[in-house]
């Protein structure tokens, strides 16, 4: 078992997503940066259904009650195990009773902590991902405990830890279903000048600071996906993320590539990005 | 409906969006559900999530896909559909209490629509609604079929908290908030039975295509239904009806 001494900022348990329930309005959820979690799962030998801990900007302080192997990755984050720094992307042994203290994310936005075998979380609709109000809580809380299995063997490192998307700032996008609604001067704005992340952002969506021209198109409620760029009547662009709702009525002008969703998940308020149209 | 009216387009790397003409109609909804049911029988679509609503059906796959191939398969399946085939859907009767303590917007709605509060309640409770889709929140029903006399744009200032079970209207729709949530719809009443329950094997028994009627109950009956529900004695009323 793992004890939460301090929960950090927006720390939550996430797997690779809750699939199969979008038809009844349940968001997919899952790790914001799936490229990072996917690679870390591979290195430690966990499956996509196993829960990892997602840390945002400021990590938690944790006490481990059983020996296990862990790996930390994604955005580089300060981490000390009983005062010794823990390197990113390396399998590390944690012994019973030891404390792991995270500090700030140094570059990027989201880091991941995995234990061998995954955190033992009661699944809700076949997934361990925390999403309130489907699960009791949306984030880790102080004094909460999280289960995991004791594991004390060497794990051979078969896959190298290398994540090139962390430094990227170009988001590859496809035309969305309502791409044609974009005015020509907005097209120029979209693809030839940078955008900055607004402060309105969470696991549901990320707003961009620079607006396009206003419009009055609305559509019959229709499916939206993580990575869908919604174009609101006031001209604002909102990129839906993993906890985003399953349907919407704003024009869906662009769709991020799967990779671009993970790239964007690592950006902070004020960071600059550029959009690149594919095909 | 002819295939020229069906638009099939890629939606990112892993999804396909099928769109029908931009109107709300039961015949389009039926066509969407028939196509969805047919696709679900096909091996290529077994693992796809299908999100249907109003005039669209979105197929989401777990990996990248061969769009042209899938498009052909969808068109073939669509051509083979028998639109006249009668099929069954459920008609649900949901209790709603329109007491002023729940229907916090009744007065304002009546005023904007130049109706009395009783007229608003009567018109809302005497209609048969159709489930055009679910979204916005887990288990939130988009119900079409609202009386033309109750059409009203959503509130200018959304509320930060709309309580669970709130029955509300906006534009041409009515809906029920399955959880406490922020919301911009006008609240007319409250349904004592939680419709969405993650602990059940089927967390949301009401499906797209189903119909819903509201049964007005007073505060006393509302409380008694709620008590019976808590003790496990209350079962939602539904009957199978034929969709011609």
Least Cα separation, residue B79 to chain A (angstroms): 23
Segments of chain B assigned to CATH 2.40.100.10: 88-243
- Name the residue among A124, A223, A258 with its Cβ closest to that of B58: A223
Task: State chain A's mean pLDDT as an integer.
Answer: 96
Q: Is B177 on the interface with A (CB under 8 A)?
A: no
* A222–B198 CB contact, under 8 Å: no
Condensed to tens digits (0 to 9), the pLDDT of residues A29-71 reads: 999 999 999 999 999 999 999 999 999 999 999 999 999 999 9
Domain spanning B3-85, CATH class: alpha beta
Q: A83 touching B, CB under 8 A?
A: no
* pLDDT computed for residue A178 by the predictor: 96
At B5, the pLDDT band (50, 70, 90 cuts) reads confident
CA distances from A226 to A136, A202, A219, B90, B161 (A): 23, 13, 19, 31, 25
- What's chain B's average pLDDT? 94
Q: Residues of B numbered 57-116 whose beta carbons fall under 8 angstroms of chain A's beta carbons: which are they?
A: 58, 60, 62
The answer, yes or no, to whether residue B201 has pLDDT greater than 90, is: no
Q: Name residue, tokens 């709130």.
A: B166
Residue A17 forms contact with B (CB below 8 Å): no
**For B171, nearest residue in chain A (alpha carbons):** A220
Give the residue among A153, A155, A164 at the shortest CA–CA distance from A46: A155
Q: At what angle do helices B67-79 and B26-40 cross, to 10 degrees?
A: 120
Q: CA-CA distance, A151 to A62, in Å (whole number)? A: 18
C-alpha–C-alpha distance, residues B177 and B78, integer Å: 34
Q: Strand, coil or helix: what is A150?
A: coil
CB–CB contacts below 8 A, A to B: 109
Class for the domain spanning B88-243 = mainly beta
**What pLDDT score does A279 carry?**
77
Q: Could you tell me where in chain B the CATH 3.30.1360.40 domains are found?
A: 3-85
Chain B residues in contact with A22 (beta carbon < 8 A): 49, 51, 60
Task: Give pLDDT, residue B83.
Answer: 84
A109: its two tokens = 């936005």
- DSSP 8-state secondary structure symbol assigned to residue A125: T
- Whether A227 contacts chain B with CB within 8 A: yes
Touching check for B135 and chain A: CB below 8 Å? yes
Q: Do residues A206 and A243 make contact, with C-beta atoms less than 8 angstroms apart? A: no
Residue of A nearest to B143 (CA): A221
- Residue A15 buriedness (CB in 10 A; 0-12 / 13-18 / 19+): buried
Which uninterrupted H or E stretch holds B229? Answer: helix B219-231
The tokens of B74 are what?
Answer: 């969808």
pLDDT in tens, B17-63: 999 999 899 999 999 999 999 999 999 998 899 999 999 999 999 99
Closest chain A C-alpha to B176 CA, distance in angstroms: 13
Q: Which residues pair with B88 in a beta bridge?
A: B242
pLDDT beyond 80 at B1: no
Q: Check if the interface score ipTM surpasses 0.90.
A: yes
What local confidence, expressed as pLDDT, does residue B136 receive?
Answer: 87
Strands annotated E in chain A = 2-6, 12-14, 52-56, 61-64, 68-74, 77-81, 84-85, 92-94, 99-105, 110-115, 145-146, 170-175, 195-201, 205-208, 222-223, 228-231, 237-240, 247-248, 252-256, 272-277
CA distance B68 to B110: 52
> Across the interface, which of B24, B49, B56 has its CB nearest the CB of A19?
B49
Provide, as residue numbers in chain A, all residues whose Cβ is less than 8 Å from the Cβ of B136: 25, 245-247
pLDDT in tens, A138-188: 999 999 999 999 999 999 988 999 999 999 999 999 999 999 999 999 999
Give B3's pLDDT tier (boundaries 50, 70, 90). low
Q: Which of B11, B51, B133 sits opposite A177 (nearest CB)?
A: B11
pLDDT of residue B4: 58
Tell me if chain B has a CB within 8 Å of the CB of A133: yes
Residues of chain B with C-beta less than 8 angstroms from the C-beta of A125: 198, 203
Residue-range domain boundaries for chain A: 2-164, 168-277
Residue from B135, B153, B174 to probe the interface with A (highest A Cβ count within 10 Å): B135
Tokens of A173: 């996008």
Q: Assess A234–B contact: CB distance below 8 Å, yes or no.
A: no
Q: Which residues of chain A have a CB within 8 Å of the CB of B135?
A: 25, 221, 223, 245-248
Please provide the CATH number assigned to the domain covering A168-277: 2.40.100.10
Instruction: Tell me the backbone φ, ψ of residue B15, rounded to 5 degrees.
Output: -135, 155
Chain B residue numbers touching A21 (CB-CB < 8 A): 138, 203
Task: Name which of B12, B53, B204 is nearest A174 (Cβ-Cβ).
Answer: B12
In B, minimum Cα distance to A220 occurs at: B54
B50:A23 CB<8 A: yes
Q: Do B134 and A223 touch (CB under 8 A)?
A: no
């Amino acid at each position: 078992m793992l004890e939460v001494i301090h929960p950090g900022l927006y720390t939550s348990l996430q797997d690779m997503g809750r699939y199969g329930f979008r038809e009844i309005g349940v968001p997919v959820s899952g790790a914001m940066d799936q490229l990072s979690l996917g690679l870390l799962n591979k290195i430690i030998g966990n499956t996509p259904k196993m829960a990892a801990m997602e840390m945002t900007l400021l990590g938690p302080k944790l006490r481990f009650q059983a020996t296990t192997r862990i790996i930390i990755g994604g955005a580089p984050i300060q981490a000390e195990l009983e005062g010794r720094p823990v390197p990113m992307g390396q399998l590390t042994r944690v012994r019973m009773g030891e404390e792991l203290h995270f500090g700030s994310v140094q570059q990027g936005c989201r880091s991941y902590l995995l234990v061998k075998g995954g955190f033992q979380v009661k699944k809700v609709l076949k997934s361990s991902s925390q999403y309130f109000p489907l699960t009791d809580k949306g984030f880790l809380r102080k004094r909460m405990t999280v289960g995991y299995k004791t594991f004390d063997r060497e794990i051979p490192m078969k896959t190298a830890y290398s994540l090139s998307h962390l430094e990227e700032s170009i988001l590859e996008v496809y035309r969305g279903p309502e791409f044609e609604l974009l005015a020509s001067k907005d097209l120029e704005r979209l693809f030839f000048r940078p955008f900055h992340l607004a402060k309105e952002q969470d696991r549901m969506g990320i707003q961009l600071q620079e607006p396009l021209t206003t419009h009055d198109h609305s559509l019959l409620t229709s499916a939206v996906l993580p990575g869908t760029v919604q174009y609101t009547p006031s001209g604002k662009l909102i990129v839906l993320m993993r906890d985003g709702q399953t349907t919407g009525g704003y024009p869906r002008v662009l769709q991020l590539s799967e990779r671009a969703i993970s790239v964007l998940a690592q950006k902070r308020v004020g960071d600059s990005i550029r959009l690149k149209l594919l095909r | 409906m002819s295939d020229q009216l069906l638009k099939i387009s890629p939606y990112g790397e892993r999804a396909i969006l099928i769109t029908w003409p931009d109107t709300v109609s039961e015949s389009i909804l039926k066509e969407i559900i028939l196509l969805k049911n047919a696709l679900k029988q096909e091996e290529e679509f077994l693992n796809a999530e299908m999100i249907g609503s109003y005039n669209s059906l979105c197929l989401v796959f777990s990996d990248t896909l061969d769009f042209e191939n899938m498009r052909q398969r969808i068109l073939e399946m669509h051509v083979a559909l028998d639109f006249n085939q009668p099929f069954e859907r459920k008609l649900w009767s949901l209790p709603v209490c329109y007491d002023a303590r729940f229907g916090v917007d009744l007065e304002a709605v009546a005023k904007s629509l130049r109706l009395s509060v009783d007229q608003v309640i009567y018109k809302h409770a005497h209609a048969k609604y159709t489930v055009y889709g679910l979204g916005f929140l887990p288990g939130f029903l988009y119900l079409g079929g609202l009386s033309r006399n109750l059409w009203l744009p959503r509130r200018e200032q959304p509320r930060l908290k709309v309580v669970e079970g709130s029955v509300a209207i906006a534009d041409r729709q009515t809906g029920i908030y399955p959880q406490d949530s922020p919301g911009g719809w006008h609240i007319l009443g409250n349904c004592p039975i939680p419709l969405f329950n993650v602990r059940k094997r089927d967390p949301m028994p009401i499906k797209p295509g189903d119909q819903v009627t509201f049964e007005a109950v007073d505060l006393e009956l509302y409380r008694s239904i709620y008590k019976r529900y808590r003790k496990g004695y209350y079962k939602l009323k539904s009957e199978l009806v034929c969709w011609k």
